[in-house]
Structure 1
Amino acid sequence: MKKTMLIIVLSVFALGCKPKQTVANTKLDNKTERLMKGDWLVSSVKYVGSDVFKVTSFNIADAKCFEESMWTLVSNNNTGEVVLNKANCATFESKITWYVNKDGNFVMKFLSEGIKAKHTTSGYVLKVANQTETSFQLIDKAAVGSNTAEIVFQFDKIGN
């Protein structure tokens, strides 16, 4: 009996001392998502402060290769597609799943053929900025030496 009580007390103490974990906000910002619905062209990719370094974005290609890329974002089911087709860059096409959380972050996963989103374990988080009905920016961070730099993807709406 004493042994059982000791186990219960130790279990309660161990559970009570569990450190708090930081979790990304997963509540959706539906208003921001609805403004992103449609077809988009990445009109420019800029490095804040300098253009003297190269960054591979999303483990796919040089960030500058995302200029002229086409993005289709469907807000009612948070799916889409990304197509890279810039001259002198590798071509790339992928389905994506995405959402915007209440913290203003665009959370995205590239999907492999035949693999469901819930089985895709890695993704990307970018900050949404300067959003209007016809444009927005996604801002990524990259390590450059001992500093952090921002890569700004400028999206412009195609058609309606």
Structure 2
Amino acid sequence: MIKRSLLLFTVMGFLFSSCSISKSARAQRNLFSGTWNLDNVYYENNTGNFKSVIFNDAEDICFEDSEWFFRDNNSTGRYTIAQSSLCQGGDRFFRWSVVEPQQSYQSQLQFKFIDDKRKDISGGYGYRLNIVNLSEQSMTLKSNVSVDGTPVTVVYEFSKK
């Protein structure tokens, strides 16, 4: 009986530890928590002028000065785009997480769109952005895309509100 109980506690401990996030990911989640302003969107690794639709939602210019809110206790958030002649304004809701680095990669912000009732509306698809810088005051995220077969990096610079 004692051996059985010990085995059960060992298995339960392993399951709980494998499902929890690391201290590093928890620290990053805490830094994300709150309201951010997306100050700048620009492109690296290529020359010329770019115009793109970001997150299959809106043109890049619509995201500049958008407000992003991350709630770490339930992994939900939203970003708000201002209404203009070029931009369909409003709130977009998402579920997010921090993905731990695999081998030599950096941590990533992962998110997918949900509705205001927290139901998945993205068909299981989502986005991952590399976390280049994350502090209490600023954040830089990057995503790698391909334009006519040439790699381009989209850079997102945020400041904490």
TM-score range, shorter chain: 0.7 to 0.9
Identity of aligned residues (%): 27
Q: What residue in structure 1 maps to residue 68 of structure 2? A: 71
Q: Which runs of 5+ in 1 are unaligned?
A: 1-25
Q: Is 2:99 the counterpart of 1:101?
A: yes
State how 1:135-154 maps to structure 2 within 5 Å.
135-154=138-157
Residues paired across the two proteins, number: 133
8 Å contact 2:115–2:121 — kept in the other structure?
Answer: no
2: distance between equivalents of 1:44 and 1:118?
Answer: 27
Q: What pairs up with 1:19-34 in 2 under 5 angstroms?
A: 29-34=25-30
The alpha-carbon deviation at position 119 of structure 1 amounts to 7.9
Unmatched tracts of structure 2, length 5 or more? 1-19, 102-106
Q: 2:115 and 2:72 mapped to 1: Cα distance? A: 20
Q: Structure 2 length as normaliser, TM-score?
A: 0.74
Contact 1:66–1:86 (Cα < 8 Å) also in 2? no
For residue 115 of structure 1, report the CA deviation from its aligned partner. 5.9
User: Please, what TM-score do these two structures have when normalized by structure 1?
Assistant: 0.74
Q: Cα–Cα, structure 1 residues 92 and 148, in superposed 2: closer, same or farther, change >3 Å?
A: farther
Q: Which residue, 33, 38, 41 being the options, matches 1:42?
A: 38
Q: Give the superposition deviation at 1:45.
A: 0.5
Q: Could you tell me how far apart the structure 1 residues matched to 2:143 and 2:32 are?
A: 17
Q: What value does the CA root-mean-square deviation take over the aligned residues? A: 2.2
Deviations 1:37-87 (Å, cap 9, x if unpaired)? Answer: 100000000111445122211000112211010011011211111101164
| 2:111 partner amino acid | M
Aligned to 1:53: 50
Is the alpha carbon distance of 1:47 and 1:119 closer, same or farther for their aligned partners in structure 2, counting shifts above 3 Å? Answer: closer
8 Å Cα contact 1:67-1:86 kept in structure 2 = no
